[in-house]
Amino acid sequence: GVLTIDGKEQSYVYDVATDNKADRTIAGFSTGAEKKMRNGCKGCPYPDFMDFYNYYGTDDYAHQWVQAAFEGGRTTFNRGGADFSQYDLEGREQAIKKGTVYLNILMYVIRELEDALDDCESQSLTNNYNSVHAWDEGVCFYTGSIEGVDGVTSDGKLLHQLADKRCGNFRTCGEEGTSLDGMSKINHDLFDMFAEGSFQLSSGECQAARRTVRQMTPKFFVPMIQGTLRYAYKVDKLQGGEVENAEGAVFAAAVLPKVYAISPSAAGIIYDNMKVSSNPSTDFVAVKNAFQSVYAGLGITCADVGGLWFDGQDKYYEGMEPCDGAALSVQSADENSGNQLKLITSFCVTMLAMFSL
């Protein structure tokens, strides 16, 4: 194949069956979660993962979701279950593609940041290579190898691209989070924090890096909320069918455990309206109100999420306007930290070549 990096074509040969020397797979991000996120790591259990473990009742919830969708079967979760026998191939395809990224990869991004904290040695300027390396892997798995040096592309596949897609739907693009195009404010904020955290780790400022991670993780879930809201509206008001229900279900699955940790009743409302179903009954207002009730607990604001924009009429869809007021604000990183995309593009190509589906 050929990869284009900074405008130059780079040829490569890679056989999935024989060249995965690191024996790393996206499925492995989930099947290895117990040892890497709950009880086999220095900082275990990781708090975000525990929200998902407590909700779903299993370590490999992400793998189970994707496998059940492949097989057209049913998950065996304690909560938030999905019966994919209700879908034809179109719905199962969405559950597989989006579940792979939003369930498997998202939590592994967070895991790499937590691993970087585990490896950090306070006040050490010479012994934090492993910490910074794990941090860079987290940035890489978040971004992917397609985004390029400016971070604005239309064909990315991972979480960076998702945030940019949703900002165009919710008018949260740009550094101020008020535009309909460009890089999302979420990505502007995250890459300032990625840069700040990398500096803190390399300087042995471990507690400062830990605070940075705690400020970052709520932002990862904003595009999941936006996606859930968008497809709730599509199914409820725009005659959305199986595909729209499937997309909404997987977005919801990627954030429901965080909602449940704050309000089980709000999570129940969202799940009942967004679950996998061949005959969904969705009330977008109920979903929106349930999410808004936990914004403060999640550490995000109304402005972070925005409102669903109607391009054809140059206004928000009725009932999907941004909510008023600010929930609990999350402190931004130093605005001068800068963007690390130029530094990580080549590294990400190398890292992503180390694992396969």
* pLDDT tens figures, 146-185: 887 666 777 889 999 999 999 999 999 999 999 999 999 9
With a cut of 90, say whether residue 343 has pLDDT above it: no
- State the pLDDT at residue 14: 87
- The band of 331, judged by pLDDT with boundaries at 50, 70 and 90, is very low
pLDDT (mean) for 59-86: 98
- The band of 93, judged by pLDDT with boundaries at 50, 70 and 90, is very high
| pTM greater than the 0.85 cutoff | yes
- State the pLDDT at residue 37: 98
**% of the chain with per-residue pLDDT over 70:** 88
> For residues 11 and 28, what is the distance between their CA atoms, to the nearest angstrom?
27
Pick 78 or 14 by higher pLDDT: 78
- State the pLDDT at residue 305: 98
Which helix (H) or strand (E) element contains residue 11? strand 8-11
- The band of 124, judged by pLDDT with boundaries at 50, 70 and 90, is low
- The band of 338, judged by pLDDT with boundaries at 50, 70 and 90, is very low
- The band of 17, judged by pLDDT with boundaries at 50, 70 and 90, is confident
The strand pairing partners of 5, in sequence order, are 8
> For residues 5 and 153, what is the distance between their CA atoms, to the nearest angstrom?
13
State the residue for tokens 């977008």: 284
CB 196 within 8 A of CB 333: yes
> For residues 115 and 23, what is the distance between their CA atoms, to the nearest angstrom?
19
Pick 74 or 19 by higher pLDDT: 74
Q: Read off the amino acid at residue 283.
A: D
pLDDT tens for residues 177-218?
999 999 999 999 999 999 999 999 999 999 999 999 999 999
> For residues 10 and 156, what is the distance between their CA atoms, to the nearest angstrom?
18
Pick 357 or 17 by higher pLDDT: 17
With a cut of 50, say whether residue 99 has pLDDT above it: yes
Instruction: Show contacts of 122-130: CB within 8 Å, 24+ apart.
Output: 122/204, 122/205, 122/206, 122/207, 123/204, 124/204, 125/202, 125/203, 125/204, 128/201, 128/202, 128/204
Instruction: Show contacts of 231-236: CB within 8 Å, 24+ apart.
Output: 231/274, 232/273, 232/274, 232/282, 232/283, 232/284, 232/287, 232/288, 233/284, 233/308, 233/317, 233/319, 233/320, 235/280, 235/282, 235/284, 236/282, 236/283, 236/284
Where is average pLDDT lowest: 28-37, 92-101, 127-136, 338-347? 338-347
Neighbours of 72 (CB within 10 A): 15
- The band of 354, judged by pLDDT with boundaries at 50, 70 and 90, is very low
With a cut of 80, say whether residue 287 has pLDDT above it: yes
Judging by DSSP bridges, how do beta strands 355-356 and 24-25 pair with one another?
Answer: parallel
Which tokens sit at 204?
Answer: 């042995």
> For residues 210 and 196, what is the distance between their CA atoms, to the nearest angstrom?
11
